[in-house]
Chains A and B, each alone.
Chain A
């Protein structure tokens, strides 16, 4: 019956997802499926203009439409604290006096159904005074460009990370400026044998999670209840409490399964609008965006990156200076933090003597840019890994050899003052290079490209958890990390089942209810397994200890003499089912033994998330068209709690990176986006993914999480774009530095010289 004490039963197995059956049979419930009795349906009127003053809003005709219960505009925000923003609070719940991007919410209607709400939206008359659109960074920074804001804003920013400083809203249309420096890059660059300066651009991207943003709210006299597919429940709770001026304890958030996050559902989004209407109408209100609306709500930063890198004659990386202009869109969202992360990441996975970075977030009258898988690490990987390749070729060095020469050794801190690198970067690169057959001679028209990146993860995070064991043979685990498809519930189940030596089928991970669920900083930065997993493991251990303490008391022995497996206490050769022990104590079968766990991380990286990719492409020099023939990507899971889910997570991330490499880009024409909708924004389909594609789940065993595990959620996508661009350069000698790498750009690169 019992396995050896040190043998893992559940951790390390590919347990099918605990929600898999429900998802496959249509039983799974998402926020967009929820219904509340008597609920009204809300729709948002959005600005058609990129930049305009609102002279007046006439809602009389809209209110007269049959079935309309209320209309809300910026005027309804009087008396509230109407701004939100993860770090700089500049985004109004509904536009106040001004609109700053096409698509910005201006008014909201609550009606008996969506059809009536839409009908009423058309009757709202907004008198706009158009102002010049600032669609690009260049336009925003140009002499005489109108200022998007006439004041600075409250912020929650605290001290800058080591070796850096920041300036909030330093000049009109610049949201944030960040300076980072270690060593003396200027001096070292003057001495380098070779200094190369190259420019790269990174495209604006859409998260494209399939479930749009949906929120429901119910507001009583003193209580506000919210249901939403937001991935940061506790942060949202704080925002709602602050905006509406109620105590934190009177805001309750319910969270369940989320149909795709990727960062789009981080931080406060549309929830305050639902709450506003719920308060105004006295009825529950459901606000469901369409996918096109979701795409117009938040996006990933476009960027212009200039890298000046100095190397020795032998190709040793010496010093680097990076200047980055991020297009932050109209409102701050997560931009300040993204900027800081980018600024600290330009060492990449290599050893440098000095790194200097300046990052500016420029405001433009476009979709606000925010949290996106990778949180800036993708920007760095694209530019840095492209340039390393370019430098290698210019110097006649092999790109793989140059990387191996400069990769940060295991256990070293390639970023001064940072956590040492806890993955074997050399081994990972060799693994993907070997798999793709990097050393083999190239066939005509074909090339192989490599890329390596690391992302810091898990900093400044707090996860709490609770585990309750009942005599009836069930275990309930509660943690505040949201299930966005990263299988957090499954992994928690495995950790708990392992700790308690019970069948995973006995373990339930409950939905999030901020009244009951332990606190969590939010489902981002790949903290779910590493941080929350530790809290869960601790909670399970303590719950187990509580059982043993009870049993020891009953049996008159020490807890250390007892074992507990399958809800049965073992004492020497005797077996005592927990249920029996409870009955003997005249306690109910449902009596619970509870353990709490908590993990708080510091300011530095909790762990590093590496990403290695090798890509083989075949390119057509006449048209610039290319195909990705083979793809090998690797991640380091530390210890794969669930190998199957690690693999599909890594593959999914890589394919998102592939989309970015090949065709994903949100484009603007004049002041409105051209393709911010599901039909026109192209994302990868199965035919875009080479059949010859393998994600390697490496286990270097150095993770801080349970059993040496690490998070991997934001790794796979980082290195794909550079690997593809490097492969094309290898194949036909065309270097594209501007994402996405499209056929016409390859062609142009081939024919312009």
Chain B
């Protein structure tokens, strides 16, 4: 018995009407049904946030979200952030500050960062920390993210004396 539901949703600006099993998890809808593999399921327990996407602008853990929740809503994934190939503000900052190392956390961080900047265009260090504390990066040690958001205080790249 596989109960199917019909979803109408917008993904990265494109409308879709899809029949899916009710037990479809959003991250799989995106990756397997819509072939948008930029969103990364990493921990599959909601701890790491690598799977973060925006639902109506809200940063959402797509491995913990059933697809039925997005009926009638608008989703943006990492593939939909750059416009006509032009990186958006968060992406440019990440690129210039050398953010991606292994890169697996990066899509989730881009979405989380975009959600932050959409609400707080000039976040202070505390706000950056509060928001980014949602996601895990195992490679970078997070200072690159602080630098990317311009929120690094003392201890910025080469400048400043921790003393």
Which chain B positions have C-beta within 8 A of A484? 102
Whether B140 is near chain A, meaning CB under 8 Å from some CB there, is yes
Chain A interface: which of B3-11, B67-75, B88-96? B88-96
Whether A686 contacts B145 by the Cβ 8 Å rule is: yes
Chain B interface: which of A20-28, A150-158, A218-226, A266-274? A20-28
Whether A27 contacts B40 by the Cβ 8 Å rule is: no
Partner of A644, one of B42, B107, B125, B157: B157
Nearest chain-A residue to B161 (Cβ)?
A435
CA of A16 to CA of B103 in the docked complex: distance in angstroms? 13
Whether B139 is near chain A, meaning CB under 8 Å from some CB there, is yes
Nearest chain-A residue to B107 (Cβ)?
A26
Which chain A positions have C-beta within 8 A of B38? 25-28
Given A291-B43, A435-B163, are A654 and B102 neighbors across the interface (CB < 8 Å)?
no
Which chain B positions have C-beta within 8 A of A647? 157
Given A435-B162, A686-B129, are A26 and B104 neighbors across the interface (CB < 8 Å)?
no
Which chain A positions have C-beta within 8 A of B79? 25-27
Partner of A689, one of B81, B125, B142: B142
Whether A648 contacts B39 by the Cβ 8 Å rule is: no
CA of A435 to CA of B154 in the docked complex: distance in angstroms? 12
Which chain B positions have C-beta within 8 A of A695? 141, 143
Given A25-B81, A26-B38, are A648 and B95 neighbors across the interface (CB < 8 Å)?
no
> C-beta contact mask, A696-723 vs B, less than 8 Å → 1, else 0?
0000000000000000000000000000
> C-beta contact mask, A244-263 vs B, less than 8 Å → 1, else 0?
00000000000001111110
Chain A CB within 10 A, most for which of B45, B143, B163: B143
Whether A686 contacts B81 by the Cβ 8 Å rule is: no
Given A24-B94, A26-B37, A649-B101, are A655 and B142 neighbors across the interface (CB < 8 Å)?
yes
Whether A654 contacts B141 by the Cβ 8 Å rule is: yes
Whether B95 contacts A24 by the Cβ 8 Å rule is: yes
Whether B162 contacts A693 by the Cβ 8 Å rule is: yes
Whether A689 contacts B143 by the Cβ 8 Å rule is: yes
Whether A240 is near chain B, meaning CB under 8 Å from some CB there, is no
CA of A630 to CA of B154 in the docked complex: distance in angstroms? 10
Given A25-B78, A27-B38, are A259 and B103 neighbors across the interface (CB < 8 Å)?
yes
Partner of B42, one of A17, A259, A677: A259
- CB A61 to nearest CB in B, in angstroms, measures 20
Count of interface residues, chain B, beta-carbon cutoff 8 Å: 62
Whether A594 is near chain B, meaning CB under 8 Å from some CB there, is no
Whether A590 is near chain B, meaning CB under 8 Å from some CB there, is no
- CB A627 to nearest CB in B, in angstroms, measures 14
Given A16-B96, A24-B91, A687-B129, are A260 and B145 neighbors across the interface (CB < 8 Å)?
no
Q: How large is the interface on A (under 10, 10 to 19, 20 to 34, 35 or more residues)?
A: 35 or more
Interface residues of A in 648-678 (CB under 8 A from B): 648-649, 651-656, 677-678
Whether B121 is near chain A, meaning CB under 8 Å from some CB there, is no
Whether A209 is near chain B, meaning CB under 8 Å from some CB there, is yes
CA of A487 to CA of B125 in the docked complex: distance in angstroms? 28
> C-beta contact mask, B136-163 vs A, less than 8 Å → 1, else 0?
1111111111100000111101001111
Nearest chain-B residue to A648 (Cβ)?
B144
Chain A CB within 10 A, most for which of B38, B78, B101: B101
Which chain B positions have C-beta within 8 A of A258? 102
Partner of A685, one of B102, B133, B144: B133
- CB A363 to nearest CB in B, in angstroms, measures 29
CA of A29 to CA of B45 in the docked complex: distance in angstroms? 22
Nearest chain-B residue to A653 (Cβ)?
B141
Chain B CB within 10 A, most for which of A30, A631, A648: A648
CA of A29 to CA of B103 in the docked complex: distance in angstroms? 10
Partner of A651, one of B42, B47, B81, B141: B141
- CB A300 to nearest CB in B, in angstroms, measures 14
Interface residues of A in 1-58 (CB under 8 A from B): 14, 16-17, 19-30, 32-33
Whether B138 contacts A209 by the Cβ 8 Å rule is: yes
Nearest chain-B residue to A212 (Cβ)?
B42
Partner of A679, one of B46, B91, B162: B46
Which chain A positions have C-beta within 8 A of B139? 260, 485, 648, 652
Whether A652 contacts B101 by the Cβ 8 Å rule is: yes
- CB B95 to nearest CB in A, in angstroms, measures 5
Whether A81 is near chain B, meaning CB under 8 Å from some CB there, is no
Interface residues of A in 463-507 (CB under 8 A from B): 484-487
CA of A351 to CA of B113 in the docked complex: distance in angstroms? 49
Given A24-B94, A26-B77, A260-B138, are A693 and B102 neighbors across the interface (CB < 8 Å)?
no
Measured CB to CB, the residues of A under 8 A from B are 14, 16-17, 19-30, 32-33, 208-212, 257-262, 290-292, 435-437, 440, 484-487, 630-632, 644-645, 647-649, 651-656, 677-679, 683-687, 689, 691-695
Beyond A436-B162, A655-B140, 15 additional pairs, beta carbon < 8 A? A20-B103, A23-B100, A24-B103, A210-B102, A210-B136, A211-B42, A212-B42, A260-B104, A437-B163, A644-B98, A647-B157, A652-B101, A686-B129, A686-B142, A691-B129
Can you show 5 pairs from A to B with CB atoms below 8 A apart?
A: A16-B96, A30-B104, A210-B138, A259-B104, A686-B129
Give the top 3 A-B pairs by smallest Cβ distance, nearest first.
A26-B38, A485-B102, A23-B103
